[in-house]
Copies of this chain bind each other. A is one copy, B any other.
Amino acid sequence: MAKQSRKSANPLNLDSFLCFAVYSAGHAFNRVYKALLDELGLTYPQYLLLVALWEQDDQTVGMLGEKLFLESSTLTPLIKRLESMGLLARSRDPLDERQVRVRLTARGRALREKALEIPPCVLAASGLKPEDLRRLTSELAALRSVLENYKPDAGRRPER
């Protein structure tokens, strides 16, 4: 009949929103991980924080925030929970007492072995070919980068 279907003609169609696709795919990942992480006693964000620490131990809260794109108001409670589980330790940096350094404990490091089993499971769950997975990952990283730098009124007013 018409050139456009009834659905795509609606400018507010949920399924055509990239943001909703990202949003709902994120929840779907969360659910897949939850099942796998239950055995380790971790939540999904806790797991991601540990991955960051397994990559590089002894980071400040600020460094972790930059890598995970989270605020200190999110990280502090997250880190405290992992500390109370005995997986990491917090201590003020003696050279700059404003900063808090986060270090893995022996138990935290040991948990990495079990965590190694998870990525293959998720890969299987995604059903993607390795090349598609890499492409999607980098496209989303690029998108995130563009969105992070977006200023609603850029160009209308001077830099400062």
Contacts and interface: CB of A to CB of B under 8 A. Distances in A.
A69 B54 CA distance: 32
Contact of A21 (B16, B55, B141): B141
- Copies of the chain in the assembly: 2
Contact of A28 (B33, B48, B138, B148): B148
Given A55-B12, A115-B12, A152-B35, A136 B21 contact: yes
A38 to B, nearest CB: 10
Given A139-B136, A147-B31, A152-B35, A119 B11 contact: yes
Interface string A4-32: 00000011111111111111111111011
Nearest to A19: B29
Given A36-B152, A48-B14, A128 B147 contact: no
Interface residues of A, number: 60
A78 interface: no
Contacts of A17: 51, 119, 137
Contact of A147 (B22, B68, B126, B150): B126
Given A55-B10, A128-B143, A48 B29 contact: no
A140 interface: yes
A110 interface: no
Nearest to A153: B35
A27 to B, nearest CB: 6
Instruction: Please give me the 10 A-B residue pairs with the lowest Cβ-Cβ distance, nearest first.
Output: A21-B140, A28-B147, A125-B150, A26-B26, A25-B144, A19-B29, A28-B144, A127-B146, A25-B140, A21-B137
